[in-house]
């Protein structure tokens, strides 16, 4: 009901965010850490922060998310959390026996100024870290960045702590998948395998947050990138980073540390971006594209050809993460849809210029904002309605208030299942994405059709 009081008049706001189109850095760091085999994420802050981060990931993936916390009280809040973290490291390795503890900070520990590497060295000196076990860290204050930058920071920490080179180049390729679903990481690995390429995908949450139901609880599922694989990334032939915001920092760090050349690509969402991804892998590895991949591409192309009339000049409003929105916009434009309102909660002017470049041939005014919020997006929609909206579950309120078809896409999706099992990357993912878009548009067409136009066949 409150949304119906959103005014149409847009005013610039510098000190107020209403309904942010993002969440905080530690959630992204925790998600990335879960992509390491036998890793326990650790929130260096209060119990409440850790509970929020775990619950958000659990509600999105519908899987139990395990994480530890330094459990700050008033004393730690004033004098620092060193004693808490040293004790936590000892308890975690003794009781839960992970191979890695991945520490991320919170607002509280960042404001105090806790030095995590120094605390880890103290724990090491006191014998709290067993032989062959590791403590890694990333600084993730919630008052800057977003879950995407938190993910990027933890992914870079994997390079900083583990990547090493013995001076001999191997034939394997590193793939940094970006902030995507476990199903997407699984699809990226499948495509590499179809091409006959040995790839190290990191982080890798497939078979961790989309694991099968076996009737038996496993604190550390079989999935996740393993420590020897992370070490070996320093000798890989090249690194393919998917998404500037989430993957590029780790790729650049690996280049600087181990001289592994890196290729920056957009997420392979849709026909053109997947073409570029596969062609890049093919060129680096010196392999041919098999018929199985060409078959998938042909099927996606067939869907686009058959259904183009329903996509043509449909106006779309998008809210989500920058890397995902860039590729999604490119995909929508390629099927002659018009993304006219585009908002990400993550700041970055390169995002705005890239979206404007993608949409430059659309004969319509384009609204795009990095570091924006859903209140602004709602105002844009009130002033210029769209035929379809795409974004996370929080967008459903605007969709209902404005009576606009809605496709869930991105993070978090709290009120539906399937996103962690069915990819939206690659040709297969593109087919599923178009199916969801087409279903939403045709459901609305059927709902609004008069009796004489209520067709059985499209």
Tens-place pLDDT, residues 9-67? 898 888 899 999 999 999 999 999 999 999 999 999 999 999 999 999 999 999 999 99
Kindly tell me if the per-residue pLDDT of 215 is higher than 70: yes
CB atoms within 10 A of CB 113: 8
As a whole number, mean pLDDT of residues 355-383 equals 97
Q: What percent of the chain has pLDDT over 90?
A: 89
174 or 1: which carries more pLDDT confidence?
A: 174
- For 132, 250, 318, 349, the CA distances from 89, given in Å and listed in that order, are 14, 26, 42, 40
pLDDT confidence tier of residue 348, bands split at 50, 70 and 90 = confident
CA–CA dist 284, 296 (Å, integer): 22
218 SS3 class = coil
What are 389-441's pLDDT values in tens digits? 999 999 999 999 999 999 999 999 999 999 999 999 999 999 999 999 999 99
All structural domains of the chain: 25-161 (3.40.50.1980), 173-290 (3.40.50.1980), 293-452 (3.40.50.1980)
Kindly tell me if the per-residue pLDDT of 147 is higher than 90: yes
What are 31-46's pLDDT values in tens digits? 999 999 999 999 999 9
CA 20 to chain centre: 17
Strands 134-138, 100-105: parallel, antiparallel or unpaired by DSSP? parallel
Which pLDDT score is estimated for 170? 94
Q: Write down the mean pLDDT value for the chain.
A: 95
Which pLDDT score is estimated for 263? 97
Which pLDDT score is estimated for 341? 98
CB atoms within 10 A of CB 174: 27
CB atoms within 10 A of CB 328: 27
Kindly tell me if the per-residue pLDDT of 1 is higher than 60: no
What are 270-321's pLDDT values in tens digits? 999 999 999 999 999 999 999 999 999 999 999 999 999 999 999 999 999 9
Q: Copy the structure tokens of residue 178.
A: 């970006």
Which pLDDT score is estimated for 2? 57
- For 37, 176, 357, the CA distances from 155, given in Å and listed in that order, are 14, 8, 29
């Amino acid at each position: 009901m409150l949304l119906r009081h959103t005014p149409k008049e847009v005013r610039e706001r510098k000190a107020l965010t209403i309904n942010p189109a993002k969440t905080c850095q530690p959630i992204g760091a925790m998600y990335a850490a879960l992509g390491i085999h036998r890793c326990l994420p650790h929130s260096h802050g209060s119990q409440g922060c850790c509970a929020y981060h775990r619950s958000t990931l659990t509600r999105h993936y519908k899987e139990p998310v395990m994480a530890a916390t330094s459990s700050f009280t008033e004393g730690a809040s004033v004098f620092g959390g060193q004693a808490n973290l040293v004790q936590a490291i000892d308890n975690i390795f003794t009781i839960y026996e992970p191979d890695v503890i991945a520490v991320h900070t919170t607002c509280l520990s960042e404001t105090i100024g806790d030095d995590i590497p120094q605390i880890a060295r103290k724990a090491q000196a006191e014998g709290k870290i067993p032989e062959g076990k590791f403590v890694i860290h990333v600084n993730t204050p919630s008052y800057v960045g977003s879950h995407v930058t938190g993910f990027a920071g933890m992914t870079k920490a994997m390079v900083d702590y583990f990547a090493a080179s013995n001076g001999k180049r191997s034939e394997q390729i590193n793939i940094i998948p970006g902030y995507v679903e476990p199903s997407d990481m699984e699809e990226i690995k499948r495509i590499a395998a179809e091409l006959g390429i040995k790839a190290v995908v990191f982080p890798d949450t497939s078979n961790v947050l989309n694991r099968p139901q076996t009737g038996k609880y496993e604190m550390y599922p079989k999935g996740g990138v393993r420590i020897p694989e992370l070490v070996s990334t320093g000798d890989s032939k090249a690194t393919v980073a998917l998404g500037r915001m989430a993957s590029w920092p780790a790729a650049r760090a690996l280049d600087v540390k181990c001289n592994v050349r890196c290729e920056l690509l957009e997420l392979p969402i849709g026909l053109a971006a997947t073409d570029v991804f596969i062609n890049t892998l093919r060129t680096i590895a010196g392999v041919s594209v098999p018929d199985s991949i060409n078959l998938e591409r042909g099927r996606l192309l067939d869907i686009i050809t058959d259904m183009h009339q329903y996509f043509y000049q449909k106006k779309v409003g998008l809210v989500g993460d920058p890397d995902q929105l860039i590729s999604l916009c490119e995909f929508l434009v390629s099927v002659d849809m018009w993304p006219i309102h585009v908002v990400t909660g993550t700041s970055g002017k390169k995002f705005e210029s890239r979206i404007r470049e993608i949409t430059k041939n659309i004969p319509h005014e384009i609204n795009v904002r990095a570091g924006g919020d859903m209140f602004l997006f709602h105002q844009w929609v009130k002033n210029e309605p769209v035929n379809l909206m795409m974004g996370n579950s929080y967008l459903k309120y605007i969709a209902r208030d404005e009576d606009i078809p809605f496709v869930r896409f991105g993070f978090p999706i709290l009120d539906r299942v399937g996103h962690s099992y069915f990819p939206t990357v690659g040709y297969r993912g593109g087919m599923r994405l178009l199916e969801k878009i087409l279903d939403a548009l045709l459901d609305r067409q059927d709902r609004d059709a008069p009796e004489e136009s209520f067709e059985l066949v499209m």
